[in-house]
Amino acid sequence: MAIDNTFEGLLGESVKIHGHLCPGQVLGVKMSRLGLKKIEIEDPKGKDRKSLIVFVEMDRCATDAVQSVTGCSLGHRTMKFMDYGKMAATFLNLKTGRAVRIVAKEEARGKAKEYFPAAENKYAAQLEAYKIMSDEDLFETMYVKVEIKPEDMPGRPLKRIPCEGCGEYVQDMREIYKDGKVLCKPCAYGGYYKIEGKSFSKQ
């Protein structure tokens, strides 16, 4: 079956994955198309799939759109999540080293109402305006340099090592050396969770 790489086709595929149509989906699709064009990636899910890594700076709707268009994902280690809270993403061509960072312009949110003044609310205006606004009105674009460490590349883990604190294994060289011990990050610095009782496997 032929792939519809038009804006409308890509947006439709993104909506299927995300579950609903929203301004963030439109931004993510347009951001991805622009990023791929700037780094000369023509077929991100086909012949170019091993040449692309994307860094996303937000855990919002647009990230699902970026994944849908590029085919990059955390599981394949071709999408990197940088928790900056910014509506931005960087697209890197591994073969050429060319990378472009694209940031959604804040002023585009206000301009959307000018395009559709009769819209029910600002989100409805943004949804329709973003579809027709130019890339120049929507995004700030900058070429950047990105260096990827060997342990961050796709492929099998370079090393797996047990934490001397909890005994759990750490891979991809994320271990911490502290006070003469090899530790995982939660044991070294504290994690997002706190254990409340015994492990189920040890009961």
Q: Are residues 43 and 142 in the same domain?
A: yes
* pLDDT for position 30: 96
What letter does residue 151 receive in the DSSP assignment? G
Residue after which a domain boundary falls, among 130, 149, 168 = 149
Q: Are residues 141 and 167 in the same domain?
A: no
Question: In which element (H, E) is residue 75 found?
Answer: none
Residue 8: both structure tokens together: 């409308």
The verdict on residue 144 lying in a domain is: yes
pLDDT at 203 over 50: no
Predicted TM-score (pTM) of the model is 0.90
Answer yes or no: are the C-beta atoms of 144 and 99 closer than 8 Å.
Answer: yes
pLDDT in tens, 44-62: 999 999 999 999 999 999 9
Question: In which element (H, E) is residue 13 found?
Answer: helix 7-18
Triad 72, 77, 83: Cα angle to 5°: 85
Instruction: Give me the chain's average pLDDT, please.
Output: 92
Task: Summarize the confidence of residues 10-27 as an average pLDDT.
Answer: 91
Flag the least confident range among 112-116, 129-133, 162-166, 183-187: 112-116
The verdict on residue 28 lying in a domain is: yes
Structurally, how many domains does the chain consist of?
2
Q: Are residues 99 and 190 in the same domain?
A: no
DSSP string of 184-202, one letter each residue: -HHHHH--S----S--GGG
Q: Are residues 43 and 140 in the same domain?
A: yes
